[in-house]
Chains A and B, each alone.
Chain A
Amino acid sequence: MSGEMMAVDYYIPLIMFLIVGALVPIGALAAVKIISPQKSTLQKRSTYEGGLRPIREAIIQYNVQYYLFAIAFVIFDVEVLFLYPWIYVYASDAIPAVGGVSIAITGMLIFIVVLLIGLLYDIKKEALRWV
């Protein structure tokens, strides 16, 4: 029954942080509800747009060109994710060196170069041009 520290145990306090973090604003809002005046009028609650009545809705369709940014982001984010586990192995003996050349390092350098080429291709194709 002796409890050795497992990786998960480090995360338990964080739940408390999340709860306290949520309680701070909720407490503040509750306090405001008690102290502050509440005389809401229709005018007071109107949308601010330079002092005039807005023309049409704010929620519109944006240009689809922007979607390329999001896709590129997902791709690169996932590929960066592959790099994290590698930190632990690149200098260890987990992946042996062949002929004095570390496979882990060479492999990852190749990976970076491939990423770079992909990025340059993206830029050249003007996929990342802000319209």
Chain B
Amino acid sequence: MIDLTQFYDIRFLIELGAFSLLAVIILGLSILTVYSRNIVHSGLYLLGSFAAVAALYISLNATFVGVAQVLVYIGAVGVLILFAIMLTRKTLMEEESHG
């Protein structure tokens, strides 16, 4: 049974609010990543969604995983993606952005 009293617990509300906010951010940024017309914008949205995922991990009390997410996904994989974008052909980018 669902204990309805916990809905009135402010801590629960904060957690719920934080989770929904993060979920919205993650989903929104992910959608933007896919639909963005500019490949660099896509990359940056992806980084933002990584950051939100890190925040989600932390809010789930998995702090080490969250910080590791920041270090590896934003610090390393994100840089890898940005680097890769800089190494792509410009015409390719234009096709992406106009297509």
Chains A and B come from one and the same complex: yes
- Give A residues with C-beta under 8 Å from B: 1, 3, 6-8, 10-11, 15, 57, 59-64, 66-67, 69-71, 73-74, 77-78, 81, 84-85
B11 within 8 A of A: yes
Q: How far is the CB of B51 from chain A (nearest CB, A)?
A: 10
Given A7-B61, A8-B61: A62 in contact with B86 (beta carbons within 8 A)? yes
Are A61 and B80 in touch, CB under 8 angstroms? no
Interface size on B, as a range, is 20 to 34
Mostly helix, strand, loop or mixed at chain B's interface? Answer: helix
Given A1-B9, A61-B87, A81-B72: A70 in contact with B79 (beta carbons within 8 A)? yes
Given A11-B58, A81-B71: A59 in contact with B80 (beta carbons within 8 A)? no
Cross-chain pair count, CB within 8 angstroms: 58
Are B63 and A7 in touch, CB under 8 angstroms? yes
User: How long is the Cα–Cα vector from A66 to B84 in the complex, in angstroms?
Assistant: 9
Given A8-B63, A11-B58: A73 in contact with B90 (beta carbons within 8 A)? no
B24 within 8 A of A: no
Hey, which chain A residues are within 8 Å of B7, CB to CB? none
Task: Please name 18 further chain A to chain B contacts, defined as beta carbons within 8 Å, in addition to the given A73-B79, A77-B76, A84-B68, sorted by A numbering.
Answer: A3-B11, A6-B61, A8-B59, A8-B60, A10-B63, A15-B55, A57-B90, A59-B93, A60-B90, A61-B88, A61-B90, A62-B86, A62-B87, A67-B87, A69-B83, A73-B80, A77-B71, A77-B72
Hey, which chain B residues are within 8 Å of A85, CB to CB? 64
User: How long is the Cα–Cα vector from A99 to B72 in the complex, in angstroms?
Assistant: 37
User: How long is the Cα–Cα vector from A69 to B80 in the complex, in angstroms?
Assistant: 9
Hey, which chain A residues are within 8 Å of B68, CB to CB? 81, 84
User: How long is the Cα–Cα vector from A74 to B93 in the complex, in angstroms?
Assistant: 24
User: How long is the Cα–Cα vector from A10 to B87 in the complex, in angstroms?
Assistant: 40
